Amino acid sequence: MGANYLVQLAAEWYEFQGYFVLRNVKVAGTGKAGGGELDVLAQHPTSGEFVHVEASMDSDSWEKRDKRFRAKFRVGQAHVEAIARGFRKKPVLRQRALLGYARAARRRTLGGGELVLIPGLLHEIIDALSARRLDRRIVPEHLPLLRTLQFVSEYRDDLFARDQLF
């Protein structure tokens, strides 16, 4: 269930930014990589950029995580190359490893992709949503996690004031 939250959050975030988003994409094996499932695959219609997000709530060693994410990203690379064969120019692929249980790490990559810890993603989202007032630019209701974060951003002073806590 935990990784599903991360997948949902990442998918909503990219959809909100205008990407076409697929979740839990089943991928058949190819000559380059085995099959599997991609957590989030998003493509921006204007830039053509692809973003592949793999999410995990594990508490495995960095070595074990690196091996697992490298395999997932290899599958994602092969899949994007296969679906982009008809494109005029080779698409840019950004791969992100999203971790729910990890402390600040000295590393910036994992398995060949960008390492993103949940506090970093939440900061990225809340920073963008804080510029959107509820009464003028509310997040669409089909993005419930982002809408919740927008409410938290709007009412953060009230929510976190010591004298206001239950």
Distance CA 99, CA 117 (A): 5
In this model, does residue 102 exceed pLDDT 90? no
Q: Pick from 81-85, 89-93, 114-118 the range whose average pLDDT is largest.
A: 114-118
60: number of Cβ within 10 Å: 14
Give Cα separations from 55 to 7, 48, 88, 138, 152 (angstroms). Answer: 6, 22, 31, 27, 23
In this model, does residue 104 exceed pLDDT 90? no
- Give me the pLDDT at residue 1, please: 42
Give the residue from 3, 40, 35, 37 showing the smallest Cα distance to 20.
40
Give the length of the chain.
Answer: 166
State whether the Cα torsion 25-83-96-72 is positive or negative. Answer: positive
What number is the average pLDDT over the span 138-152?
A: 96
- Give me the pLDDT at residue 150, please: 96
CATH architecture for residues 2-117: 3-Layer(aba) Sandwich (3.40)
| 79-88 residue pLDDT tens | 998 888 777 7
Domain definitions of the chain by residue range: 2-117
